[in-house]
Amino acid sequence: MRKIPITENMTPIDKKCIEAGISRRELAQKSGIPYVTIDQWARRKRLPRDVYQLNKVAKALGCCIEDLIEPELAEAANESKGDGSD
């Protein structure tokens, strides 16, 4: 398997997959989370919000949930929606 270099703009999920030497598809199989869901998270098309799914992915990667989330993206998404607290 070809070694992919870790870059600054990669998602934590992709970085952890590279460190573990597995693909997104293998992560989906190991975690039981649909590949489409993991792929959307890794491409930042969808934010991971289900803590149970995140826990399964973290266990499959041998890390903590905190290692997989990007709080700055969640904050930006909330700001763009407007939280109605004005």
| 23 neighbors 17 (Cβ within 8 angstroms) | yes
Closest to 52 (Cα-Cα) out of 70, 36, 37: 37
pLDDT digits (tens, 9 = 90+) for 6-43: 677 889 999 999 999 999 999 999 999 999 999 999 99
pTM: 0.76
Grouping H, G, I as helix, E, B as strand and the rest as coil, residue 46 is coil
Domains and CATH numbers, the chain: 19-69 (1.10.260.40)
82: left (phi over 0), alpha (psi -120 to 50) or beta: left
Percent of the chain with pLDDT over 90: 57
